[in-house]
Structure 1
Amino acid sequence: MQDFSEFVKGITSGYTPVIGEGYKKEDFAYIDLSANNPELLKLEVASSEAFSVFISEFLKNKQAKAAYGGYNELRTLYNRSELFNNAEANRNIHIGLDIWAPAFVDILSPLEGKIHSFRDNDKFGDYGPTLILEHSIDGREFFTLYGHLTRGSLKGPREGEPVNAGEKIGELGDFEENGDYAPHLHFQVIEDLKGNTGDFPGVIKKEDLDDYLKNCPDPNLLLKI
């Protein structure tokens, strides 16, 4: 069987939007939020409001409407939450793609599929409202996850409901409801959900990295931002 990352790369031929309101490829700027970014040392990462200001200034300086990045990125910003920073977890490697944009922007499905599951993962530092779609292309099934939505995004969907490519599936949540983050979409491509519903790890331990990178390839192989 074809390698999953190569399969994902071959699904789309060019930029494929996952946020609406007319965003084009040239509207995005890549942002580095890794532990190697010295700018983050000056920032109070525990404050979602301070982080929102940081993102806004970044976009202004780059003359961009949205920022993207974060796949396979070692981050220190998760140290603020016991969800990631404890003796059992110690998770700090991000394996989704983050898209930083204003709250309440429309979130779109990049592909045809159906609603698999949804949940409000409401712990501090978690995804907040989360939606998972199931897709089948050329007989191969896989999933896409959308985290940090508004709670209103979970009021309409029904499990098994079909979704068209480009269809609005939710809105980007603000920090009051998205797990306490500056507004952004966590987008993840997953081959095997391993029995999970409405949730799937998006930040993992170094010891688990190889397995997760195979199961969750770079989402930008699909979106091509």
Structure 2
Amino acid sequence: MWLTIVPAAAAAERLTPVPYDDLPPLAPELVTFDRLPAKDYPGYSFDHGLAVPGARLGERFAGQGLGAVHIDDGGPHDRLTGRPAVPLAIEPGAPGQGLSLSRHTAYRSMALYPLGPLGQPDPQARGEGSVAILFARDACAVGFRVHTEYVDAFGTTEGHEGTIRATFYARDGAPIGAVRIVAPEGISAHGFLDAQAGIAGLTLENRDPGGVSFDDLRFGCPAPTG
């Protein structure tokens, strides 16, 4: 796995990658997406966004534009444009094109699938959408696990790389920085620390031909001591 950090001009040193396993004391809030009974694909579809303890999730932030991009012969992927409006607010997406939860064999648990433009229950929509996450309180660090996989025409995953773009925002909608993650086939885990402890939200977009799923979202700040 490799990543490139593309920070905002005024925040060149704010965003730093950290090992996901180091996050529990830095980002103690954990969302596993297992609060609902386990359910196989197509699972549960959320047309009005998804509320979890400490955060809300949707397709994008209010004020952002939504387009589509084709990267292969499969379903199109969401493409976000523009800067969020102030204050940050979740935009849920069109019916069937927002978010879904269903059982994932690799995680052995429920996982989050962003739905692409083709919409639920089209299998080529599963995992090809965008996700926006808005935190109730500014976070010092954020992390997640992601599953990427694409079986080519020969039935193999040889040389597979799944690309995810994570863009972090402050409460006023200003971008903190953007990270381009190139993940190998399977499950990988990623963590990021903000030196100014001001991550109010982030968006996740992917260009993985087979779509992606997310699990084990971590966020927050270290517990006070003394």
TM-score by structure 2 length?
Answer: 0.31
Higher relative contact order (CA 8 A, sep 6+): 2
More strand by share: 2
